[in-house]
Amino acid sequence: MSNIAIQFENIGKLYHLGVVGTGTLSHDLNRWWQTRILHHEDPYLKIGETNDRSTKGSSDFVWALKDISFNVMEGDVVGIIGKNGAGKSTLLKLLSRVTAPTTGIIRAKGRIASLLEVGTGFHPEMTGRENIYMNGSIMGMTRQEITKKLDSIVDFAGVERYLDTPVKRYSSGMTVRLGFAVAAFLEPEILVVDEVLAVGDAEFQKKAIGKMQDVSKGEGRTVLFVSHNMAAIKSLCTRGVVLQNGMVVHQGSADQAVDFYLNHAAISQEGNIKDAITDKKTFITIDEIAINGSISNQVTIKSNEEFLDLCITGHTSEPISAEIKLFIKNMSGVSMAGLVEGRYKGISTKFPAGKFQISKKIKIPHFVSNGDYYIDLYLHQPLIQDFFYAPHCADLHFEGNFEGFGKPLIGRTDGFFGLETQSDEN
């Protein structure tokens, strides 16, 4: 029987929204009077609400986490899954003792090392070697421990040549590698990792994931891992916990948790497609993005629909030569289909300065499956530049086409669309 490594009991974390630090002196005094002197319940705790960002709450206090109770066994690798703002990072912060819970208690056995960021405490003026010592001791290693592991750390990070160069001369990739290398050679009983793997090149990511696997499998350590990368969760973790609006909505094996998340929790909030725009060139403004005539980011493609009409209108202060590029991705973030005609055919449309409108009528494959997908949208000049990027700008629900038995294909088992055969008889 394995032992409990971490026990979360009724953990709650209350946050005060808005500006903290001005005009709160009276609140502070009132709170202090009520709780410390009169021993009443904290008046500001009662009005906390669940953490749902989309609805505007009536109070200034919000529960980022509420009633979190679960156990983590020794040697488990637990993936914490949830949308942005579901409370994942708050949970890790509590466990890393960066901030204290408002209610409840966490008990843990062994040293906890948290990797909420790599290279914490790195100083740009110090050399790689000095920073290894700095970062290592912040993480709780002693000088001798670091000296003993210095060679392996340097080797893992691949920075031998630059060891005595100030870190400010490092590339960002090198800095990240160095930071992760130090963390990888910590030997805590419990390792807490927040999406730090999202940085670094592919080769290094592989190495980092491999190292994490060593940590959990080979040496019987407990790992808590937060990521949006469902593939990484599935391959690394043994268990999964799904958070939604600050509450645990599912726990179980990693595969089950990922499935639960994709089916229930991943649907994003309603809004407009153009809200998702990031990295926009300043000379361009986008007035409207519409799919099938609707600007909402919740798009349903009915069984009989043959086209996906995409229309972008906006204004440019410089003449541009632009094309639409888009990818349809499944909820694990794998690209299922792409519209990259601009690059493929080497074409793009020229627009003079002023108002512009680009529309595309995209043909939907005949045997498209039933399922949920989302769209990453770009406006670009093929191979030259992106005018804007709108990741996850709309959720796409395909009802799926069907003939014959009247049942559509199921995206998760049958693929994005069904293959068709050519019959010679006709």
Partner 1 sequence: MHQKDWTIVISPQRRWFDIDLKNLWRYRDLFLMYIKRDIIVVYKQTILGPLWYIIQPALTTIMYMFIFGGLAGISTDGVPQPLFYLAGITLWNYYSAAFTASSNVFTENANIFGKVYFPRLIVPLSAITSNLVKMLIQLMLFIAVYVYYLLIGTHATINWSILLFPFYIVLLAFHAMGCGLIISALTTKYRDLTFLVSFGIQLFMYATPVIYPMSTTSGKIKTILELNPLTPIFEGFKHGCLGCGSLSWGGLLYSSIFMLILLCIAVVTFTRVERNFMDTV
Distance CA 282, CA 177 (A): 33
223 sits near partner 1 (criterion: CB under 8 A): no
Number of chain positions touching partner 1 (CB under 8 A):
48
Comparison of 182 and 320: residue with beta carbon closer to partner 1: 182
Check: CB of residue 408 under 8 Å from CB of residue 399: yes
Taking only Cα atoms into account, the Rg of the chain, rounded to an integer number of angstroms, comes to: 26
Comparison of 14 and 174: residue with beta carbon closer to partner 1: 14
Binding residue (CB under 8 A) for partner 1 from 102, 227, 297, 401: 102
- Buried b / exposed e over 105-124, threshold 16 CB at 10 Å, is ebebeeebbbbbebbeebee
Element (H, E) at 168: none
Q: Which of 309, 263, 305 shows the shortest CA–CA distance to 402?
A: 305
345 sits near partner 1 (criterion: CB under 8 A): no
Distance CA 56, CA 35 (A): 28
Comparison of 105 and 353: residue with beta carbon closer to partner 1: 105
| Burial classification of residue 397, based on how many CB atoms lie within 10 Å of its CB (0-12 exposed, 13-18 middle, 19 or more buried) | middle
| Burial classification of residue 22, based on how many CB atoms lie within 10 Å of its CB (0-12 exposed, 13-18 middle, 19 or more buried) | exposed
Comparison of 127 and 205: residue with beta carbon closer to partner 1: 127
The tokens describing 44, both together, are 């500001």
Site string for partner 1, 35-74 (x = CB under 8 A): ----------------------------------------
Comparison of 100 and 419: residue with beta carbon closer to partner 1: 100
121 sits near partner 1 (criterion: CB under 8 A): yes
Read off the DSSP letter of residue 86: S
Comparison of 140 and 352: residue with beta carbon closer to partner 1: 140
Comparison of 118 and 247: residue with beta carbon closer to partner 1: 118
The tokens describing 120, both together, are 């914490």
Check: CB of residue 87 under 8 Å from CB of residue 104: no
Q: What is the CA 305 to chain-centroid distance, rounded?
A: 32
Site string for partner 1, 142-161 (x = CB under 8 A): xx------------------
18 sits near partner 1 (criterion: CB under 8 A): no
Site string for partner 1, 181-220 (x = CB under 8 A): ----------------------------------------
251 sits near partner 1 (criterion: CB under 8 A): no
* Binding to partner 1 in span 80-99, by CB under 8 A: 93-99
123 sits near partner 1 (criterion: CB under 8 A): yes
340 sits near partner 1 (criterion: CB under 8 A): no
| Burial classification of residue 171, based on how many CB atoms lie within 10 Å of its CB (0-12 exposed, 13-18 middle, 19 or more buried) | exposed
Check: CB of residue 238 under 8 Å from CB of residue 78: yes
CB of 215 to partner 1, least distance (A): 18
Q: Which residues bind partner 1 (CB under 8 A)?
A: 3-4, 7, 15-16, 20-21, 24-25, 93-112, 114, 116-117, 120-121, 123, 125-126, 130, 133-134, 137-143, 166
